[in-house]
Structure 1
């Protein structure tokens, strides 16, 4: 490492960029830049310009990820990657994902302003489509980089019939050459993100050090009963699918609360979808459709919960005099453990700067979960007001963003001194 002076974060510059990108939004729907949309492309062009101004060599990889690279002094040292995403949910916020990308740009500017040349290359990445897209898939770009974007996924279509593969190419990717997206040079990946919860705020802790990113599993359940007149059918003669759905919803909440107290890390479960048919006030429901969202730091808890839920819903169907007509696991991911050494470095860096930290799991999914499948990865959380996210009310204080950025900068400086991948040849990207 060559250092002219100690690099520092320019918090005003960082904040100005956050606010400026937030202004690139669909009219009347702040703050909206849906992946694959024209407004998303506009936001990316703004980012590309910021990458260029920061002195980054900028490109799009085959998976449609926007990457800015600052070459290191030692080509054999590998790459320290920093990233998140710039797409949003409809009427989302100015910080979710965006903060991680803007902080990455500011880290590079801080290094260059100080005349600091690292041995490792630094890359800032805006991953394509981290949020659930209109093609029914999230984390598209990080899946591609991890080699986890299957042929089946590439054939997913949006409502207009466009293939996901075609959409990636439309964003500047190159699906025919996706194998070139896979990386062997990344020695560490770091992602800054707002917490999207209230833990840090209520504990009055400056930063969260993420221990693991929870798995996400979704189970679909169908109950079938019989439609009858709500006023004339005696209670003991009903076959009420709505009653079975209500019993399931209550069971999921109670059982998830029990699992959360088992001491195996983060566990939550939610009945997020509940549809009744015919959905009329004066008709006993004949059908019920539910989707249960289960998130766990320990995969064994998910397996156990699903087993219990499957048995319980069959019993609920019998006692409600209905048929459980469907049980299906719609999707599932594995928990991603954050690298212990990177977590330790983040924690030590924060302490050296006077910031308090708390080890915590992430209940939300992130690009880091897929990058962790091929490179050591870690995340740092900054508090957000009232835990609000995926809403225009989403807010993080400038001082909180600056604290996270300063901690990442200190971490990168330390990693540059300690990481060594023992390569005898130059690493290709």
Structure 2
């Protein structure tokens, strides 16, 4: 890297390598929240926070926070962070890069002898990934006061989520909502190929997609696979195949439009699932993502029409598609994205606006304060896999953009 940056790529790489070494044997890179390996990783992160001069604490939601106090009376808090928990078998950079880049900003400020008018907090949010309890973004939901109370009774590995939060040092009985945060920034690997393909340094995330999950149930009739004529079958699986291909076509057409869209049939099961029986029942679950509600509404309407058409053609019964869950899209702060774009320009980094197709802690922090994200390149777009990789120089460049943004936001 030829740029003269305030941050240090080698220091970032060393910490990411150290965290990568803390993994379940034979399962790179696995540190799932609420496991002993996660706690070991947390202990390392707390140690390097303290070595950087940060005061550390675990808040009631189970988030690890490193605070750099302002000079005099603080004007509020500028917060940076992401998460260090991983999915099984894949998470060397996902989340981790954001925590270490944020820490590097604090180190660089200390190295330069720069004091801020705001407190600076570096946060490792608890359980951003889907946890053993089947839910995600537990720490950021807790910090913003939107974690459902009933989640605390969820059970896994002979403990409740409430027990798990206590295990990491939190207090699940305390409900709170931060009011001091003035801005939140999160660096993350792209988990896609746009930046790499276009040769762009930094993605400025203007919105985090909404996610709707839709269940489709198809009822046919079980009959003998060897004796039932091909023209006298009510095959739920054949009908389901038509529906899946139709959903893909609808999603492709919407994705080719001006607004972000992605649709996937990610869960699929059939009954009786026997080689010599015609399938009688199919259940599928669609994961659909959009940043505009009108686009999502159009997708759902098209899928419903497809189901009606397929049921008539195949002589099966298809229930009206049912929403299982729905999370609204989250726009990022124009003010903060402008600051990030200006920061990239000051250090000579190219940037482009982007949409995040994945959920992030920033979506919840945006409920409290102006928030934004930046992406840095992912090799071949791989993520949630052992092959996930981002270059240290790219992470350092993203950290330098965060550094510039923190200085500017502190002035504003």
Please give the TM-score of this superposition, normalised by the length of structure 1. Answer: 0.92
Correspondence for 2:160 among 160, 163, 167: 163
1:145 Cα deviation after fit: 1.0
> Does 2:267 align with 1:262?
no
Q: State the alpha-carbon separation in 1 of the partners of residues 384 and 87 from structure 2.
A: 6
Q: Report Cα offsets for 1:251-274 as digits up to 9, x if no partner.
A: 1111111112332x2100000111
Q: Report Cα offsets for 1:303-354 as digits up to 9, x if no partner.
A: 2212332332233223222222574322111111111011111111111111
Q: State the alpha-carbon separation in 2 of the partners of residues 148 and 333 from structure 1.
A: 13
Q: State the alpha-carbon separation in 1 of the partners of residues 320 and 43 from structure 2.
A: 46
Q: Per the alignment, in what secondary structure is the counterpart of residue 178 of structure 2?
A: coil
Q: State the alpha-carbon separation in 2 of the partners of residues 369 and 7 from structure 1.
A: 29
Q: Per the alignment, in what secondary structure is the counterpart of residue 308 of structure 1?
A: helix
> Does 2:354 align with 1:360?
yes
Query: Which blocks of at least 5 consecutive residues in structure 1 are unaligned?
Result: 1-5, 419-429
Query: Which blocks of at least 5 consecutive residues in structure 2 are unaligned?
Result: none
Q: Report Cα offsets for 1:4-34 as digits up to 9, x if no partner.
A: xx98112111111111111100011010000
Contact 1:128 1:140 in 2 (8 A): yes
> Does 2:124 align with 1:126?
yes
- Cα gap change, 1:312 to 1:74, in 2 (>3 Å): farther
1:214 Cα deviation after fit: 0.3
1:371 Cα deviation after fit: 0.6
Q: State the alpha-carbon separation in 1 of the partners of residues 184 and 49 from structure 2.
A: 18
- Displaced runs of 4 or more, over 6 A: none
Which residue in the other structure is 1:220 paired with?
A: 215
Which residue in the other structure is 2:375 paired with?
A: 381
Correspondence list, 1:76-91, <5 A: 76-91=74-89
Correspondence list, 1:186-201, <5 A: 186-201=181-196
1:110 Cα deviation after fit: 0.8
Contact 1:7 1:116 in 2 (8 A): no
Contact 1:7 1:113 in 2 (8 A): no
Correspondence for 2:230 among 227, 235, 240: 235
Please give the TM-score of this superposition, normalised by the length of structure 2. Answer: 0.96
Q: Per the alignment, in what secondary structure is the counterpart of residue 173 of structure 2?
A: helix
Correspondence for 1:153 among 148, 151, 158: 151
Equivalences, count = 409
Correspondence for 1:337 among 316, 331, 337: 331
Correspondence for 1:100 among 98, 101, 107: 98
Contact 2:250 2:302 in 1 (8 A): no
Across the aligned residues of Structure 1 and Structure 2, the Cα RMSD in angstroms comes to 1.5
Q: Per the alignment, in what secondary structure is the counterpart of residue 411 of structure 2?
A: helix
Q: Report Cα offsets for 1:26-72 as digits up to 9, x if no partner.
A: 01101000010000000000001111111111101110000110011
